[in-house]
Amino acid sequence: MTNEQKHELTSRRTFAIISHPDAGKTTLTEKLLLLGGTIRSAGTVKAKKSGKYATSDWMEIEKQRGISVTSSVMQFFYRDHHVNIVDTPGHQDFSEDTYRTLTAVDSAVMVIDGTKGIEAQTLKLFKVCRMRGIPILTFINKLDREGREPLELLQEIEEVLGIESYPVTWPIGMGKRFQGTYDRFEKKIEVYRGNEESVFIDFDGENVTEELTKYIDPAVIPSLIDELMLIDEAGNDFSIEKVKNGTLTPVFFGSAIANFGVQSFFNSFLNLTSPPQSRMSSNGEIPIDYPHFSGFVFKIQANMNPAHRDRIAFVRVCSGKFERGMTVTLPRTGRKIKLGQSQQFLASDRETVEEAYPGDIIGLYDSGTYQIGDTIIGGGAMFQFEALPKFPPELFRKVRAKNAMKHKHFDKGMTQLVQEGAVQLYRTPFFGDYILGAVGELQFQVFEYRMKAEYGVDLEFTSMQHNSARWIAKDDVKHIKTDSRAMLVEDLDGNPVLLFENDFVLRTFTDKYPDVKLSTIFEG
Ligand code: G4P
């Protein structure tokens, strides 16, 4: 590895912000971009969300609904670091894309609304991050509002998420009484002054100084000292190893909208997270100093520009250096590909990227070459990065073409979109009916839109009550009795899968057949 490569690598931080809708992810992202000077004024990210931003070449469905269906990538430079924020859709109707995006990042920031605590979508996304063992930092937002008690929020993080917490900053009051936060590492108070810039004052956590009483209401100082003592004595010890393996989350308090606590949070973030690490592959670990370029496709986005019907494969760079025009191998097919057209993303602008390093996300024009999970490699070696995890669908729909004459287009679209990973597909054994599985309602809508736009096929959906899929061994099929409530279908590769109508049916089945092993994913 050259010195240049080493420098580029160690300065990279690639992360996602996970949260429940309305917790403040967009606002925080905006403030982070401002820190990096990427956007001139706050509001750019927000405006995009409300549909005012000129995103004319994004999918029509995004515009119609004023939401970001796709996960875009924002890059900025801050304090000698190249920062990549990989955005995840901020809507409740999220999809497998959201989950897969988390396989392309090295850490995550969990934004929690301090007035609400942990919400459903945060929990789902958290579980995926946890599975990957990546650092997760927590930003408790909206301290300018009356919210829940900080200790109660920490307890909830520990109990609901099953992760240790360590408050790096500690709030002094909240809502109208919010006065600032105390940084336990820096031993400084950031004083909240509404629209005015924060002031930082020293405080050792015990000794009251004149400066302290000048900025902080003396009436609250004794309880602040008590609380700091309490979290010191009763709270978890800080451990950077635990942060790095994702078993302890450093917690920060602030107000994204007031841009309070954001900068100190992000400075700590850069220190507490690691640059890109080595990844597992079919040839064992590919060390981060592996000299040749390698990366994997974690997302394919079609129709970025409907006029050209183009598709973009999003690649996470894992090793070496990407250079535009280089030739890589796609081990799945053995094909050699010249990477002539590549893009990088800055908020929602795109520009051609000439070079990229581990941690970066690049977009490659795709004319049907790539599939989700594909590895691409420079330098002649042949290996594949570990397969992306499959996420068990929770929603199912029967689907067919409205016009039976279109069945060829229907089959073609179905095969291509399913291969791309847009939805999961099952067939019923005798009639061969198509059943789609998804983790979010939006996946069906995007699928329907794309079948129409790209293959000219109108779809007809029949809703299904089923809410879970379980794989079973082929040998077990003959020992069980199935019906419409525990329905036997096959996945794309002909493996038997049971779709259960609800948790009760699933429980009854497991009670009846205790020896039949049910798996949420196909285990081979
Ligand atoms: P999201 O991307 O996680 O969905 O959340 P977003 O940033 O869009 O924020 C959701 C709402 O919460 C917005 O209000 C936003 O202004 C508000 N918000 C974000 N951070 C803070 C904060 O620190 N304090 C307070 N009090 N509010 C915050 P909205 O009414 O939905 O939109 P807008 O009309 O304010 O733009």
Residues 416 and 287 in one domain: no
Q: Is 144 close to ligand 1, i.e. is its CB under 6 Å away?
A: yes
* CATH number of the domain encompassing residue 425: 3.30.70.3280
ipTM associated with this complex: 0.97
Residues 39 and 181 in one domain: yes
384 inside domain: no
Q: Is 21 close to ligand 1, i.e. is its CB under 6 Å away?
A: yes
Output the CA–CA distances (angstroms, integers) from residue 363 to 63, 96, 250, 370, 394, in the order listed: 21, 19, 32, 12, 30
385 inside domain: no
Residue 12 near residue 84, CB atoms below 8 Å: yes
Phi, psi at 262, each rounded to 5°: -75, -45
What total number of domains does the chain contain? 3
**The domain boundary residue, chosen from 255, 272, 289:** 272
- Average of pLDDT values for 502-509? 95
Domain residues for the domain of 421 are: 395-519
What number does the ligand 1 atom closest to the CA of 258 have? 23
382 inside domain: no
Residues 178 and 132 in one domain: yes
402 inside domain: yes
Whose C-alpha lies nearest to ligand 1, atom 10? 22
pLDDT greater than 90 at residue 490: yes
What pLDDT, on the 0 to 100 scale, is given for residue 55? 32
What pLDDT, on the 0 to 100 scale, is given for residue 11? 94
Band of residue 372 on the pLDDT scale cut at 50, 70, 90: confident
What pLDDT, on the 0 to 100 scale, is given for residue 46? 46
What pLDDT, on the 0 to 100 scale, is given for residue 53? 35
Average pLDDT value over all residues in the chain:
86
388 inside domain: no
What number does the ligand 1 atom closest to the CA of 111 have? 3
386 inside domain: no
Instruction: Tell which residue, 251, 172, 255, has the closest CA to residue 212.
Output: 172
pLDDT greater than 90 at residue 38: no
- Average of pLDDT values for 127-145? 94
What number does the ligand 1 atom closest to the CA of 50 have? 36
What pLDDT, on the 0 to 100 scale, is given for residue 344? 60
**The domain boundary residue, chosen from 256, 272, 288:** 272
223 inside domain: yes
Q: Which residue is associated with the tokens 């302290």?
A: 212
* CATH number of the domain encompassing residue 305: 3.40.50.300
Residues 368 and 401 in one domain: no
Residue 398 near residue 461, CB atoms below 8 Å: yes
- Of 71 and 2, the structure prediction assigns the larger pLDDT to 2
Distance, CA 25 to ligand 1 centroid (Å)? Answer: 8
What pLDDT, on the 0 to 100 scale, is given for residue 92? 57
What pLDDT, on the 0 to 100 scale, is given for residue 226? 96
Q: What is the pLDDT of residues 57-102, one digit of tens each?
A: 334 444 444 334 344 678 888 999 999 998 776 555 567 778 888 9
Band of residue 307 on the pLDDT scale cut at 50, 70, 90: low
For 393, what's the count of Cα atoms within 13 Å in the CB-facing half-sphere? 29
What pLDDT, on the 0 to 100 scale, is given for residue 523? 54
Locate 219 and state its tokens: 């009436």
Q: What is the pLDDT of residues 275-296, one digit of tens each?
A: 999 999 999 999 999 999 999 9
472 inside domain: yes
Residue 176 near residue 169, CB atoms below 8 Å: no
pLDDT greater than 80 at residue 382: yes
- Of 97 and 486, the structure prediction assigns the larger pLDDT to 486
Q: Is 27 close to ligand 1, i.e. is its CB under 6 Å away?
A: yes
pLDDT greater than 80 at residue 50: no
Which residues lie below 8 Å from residue 121, measured CB to CB, with a gap of 6+? 19, 20, 21, 92, 94
What pLDDT, on the 0 to 100 scale, is given for residue 350? 56
Tally DSSP H helices, then E strands, for the chain.
Answer: 14, 30
Q: Is 32 close to ligand 1, i.e. is its CB under 6 Å away?
A: no
Residues 471 and 355 in one domain: no
Give exposure, 265-281, as e/b (b: 16+ Cβ within 10 Å). Answer: bbbbbeebbbbbeebeb
Band of residue 308 on the pLDDT scale cut at 50, 70, 90: low
Where is average pLDDT lowest: 4-18, 189-203, 349-363, 451-465?
349-363
Q: Is 89 annotated as a binding residue?
A: yes
Q: Is 145 close to ligand 1, i.e. is its CB under 6 Å away?
A: yes
Residues 219 and 365 in one domain: no
- Average of pLDDT values for 120-141? 92
What pLDDT, on the 0 to 100 scale, is given for residue 66? 39
Residues 309 and 188 in one domain: no
Q: Is 278 annotated as a binding residue?
A: no
Q: What is the pLDDT of residues 384-423, one digit of tens each?
A: 998 877 778 889 999 999 998 999 999 999 988 887 777 8
pLDDT greater than 80 at residue 45: no
Query: Three-state DSSP class for 495?
Result: coil
For 388, what's the count of Cα atoms within 13 Å in the CB-facing half-sphere? 27
Q: Annotate 41-90 with DSSP letters as a single string.
A: STTHHHHHHTT-S--TTS-HHHHHHTS--S--EEEEEETTEEEEEE----
What pLDDT, on the 0 to 100 scale, is given for residue 137? 98
